[in-house]
Structure 1
């Protein structure tokens, strides 16, 4: 979870540089150019060459210090392109020749120093060219990974249907943008539906399985009126494509009608339900956190044929101010130096607010502090909140009063 993306609406964790909305493309291009120019200017190598020259001028010891001039082009290979390396090498050779003549260095010794300096410069120029090529290849790979991430784990807007939503996702691989954890949240003709899951294993095989699950889920969520039928479609697809030891734990949820959530838990960690404290649901600033344990535990997706058990639908009341946190084991299995697990339920109770993005930001910061700054497993968090509707509590009373008046008028 070290190199990661942070989704708050469209954002990713760990936080990457955010683009200034007020800056146009020209501004970004100029900034990138300025950074590239600053990075490619061989300032430090030139300073080292100048330092060697000053030391030689101060000591007057001749050839002893001239060998250190090769440090200039060697260092330039790590910060500059081939042209910068050659310029530093030419500067060092010119100054070395001048110092050798000034100090009366024998011709054969000066020639040996300059030959070594030329060889180091040429080798450093080649190393710089190879480094630049590797950086371009890495940049291309990163852009492909970024495109794959957006295709697989699509950004979730801050509002979907009647819900406020926030997502945090992080891949364990240092240079990865995607991993074995998955999530999706889509509005459908049958209400908002979502999935959070964890593929067994890591690396490219896990990414491939995650892509399969998400593809089937997005299609079935639109086609199937019954949430259990959506889960069945995913199960059948995995049974055809996974090995005997592979599986996916997941929670699939749907909002078919106001005031209810349908949940199907397939071997996954139980979601955390947050209900507002007090009688009114007008604010989610504090609340009671309860794990939603499955009433009929079901096996992970891909293992139904081995157990013969089928998942069951669990219906939860979900009204104004309620929140539901779905997560993967990369969060709950994160340990500190004393090997203690992160207490997610306690952290959620401390940081819950009426803004899901703010809640997950606080959880993320506390989680990183718990593990010492770096997570070592894929991790995903998805927080769903039903906003409170002002005056909603008074609506039933007003409706009842109106009905009473109508009945009185009818009787009169």
Structure 2
């Protein structure tokens, strides 16, 4: 028996440096507007550029427990609330036991960790807050979402470094296909712009001193960013029965591991290629059917070149490619979910956003990377790619509703 693995997207939520809701983030990305700025809190480090979330405000933050939560959890709660509002949930047909929450995470509560470490060093253990652990633990994003919205179905937190947001989509899709739930909330969040984490990435040599310029000949690394993304996924029959209007369909997913190096991607992009081909087969479409690629596009020398090589092999027809990281920076674990949401928006608007920061395409990258102004999207199928330290690769394929 063949199991239908298609899921429909019925709600989106975004909190980014480009804006604290879907409309403002989309406008920022569509305009190709970089958000990187020198960060006073990072002054004196080798790199002090970041993309911060500012002026976050939403009724969900009035929940009393929010005061003790790390920013990464608050970002995720707001994104989830937005997505549920758009999906008209909770509503008729909402059974909390049939709703799953899948969180994509990497660092967890770095602000909570930094505060507790400083108090321990300066004043001793009595000054460490009893709320430290619930602010710091990586699973608290999903736990807070479940607690606030009264969700009692499966709750999972997945981490595949900077591929976590896309991996979470695949896990949520499978929970729906296996009939473990009717609705799956996918939420990924990151607020890891801290002096320690920034120093760690600087030591590895991945951060930019000049801004994010994906696929550009003069790119020199990514800009650390904060942000969160959320998607509501439903089984198609369930969404139809409750009268929900699908925004898009999640039709394919693929994942693969490089098994090459702890931080460096496989030089020929074989892991990413495997994930791409797996996703295409899963979706039952050909490479030629894909009309747009939202690339991982980190703006590092190695990633962009290797990703470009893999995409060129799989998609010789050269569909238009963009990277949101030129505008929003690299949101690490949240990137895949944010970029999947942007891919849904591109399908609905019929527009491929430009790659902010791209001035001169690297001559060694044979891709049709959109720059300057948006491009018309001529196809109803698009995909989003993600990769992460540890050799993780994940691909989601989305189609018009």
Does the TM-score normalized on the shorter chain lie above 0.5? no
**Could you say which structure has the larger radius of gyration?**
1
Please give the TM-score of this superposition, normalised by the length of structure 1: 0.27
Please give the TM-score of this superposition, normalised by the length of structure 2: 0.27
More contact order relative to length (CA 8 Å, sep ≥ 6): 2
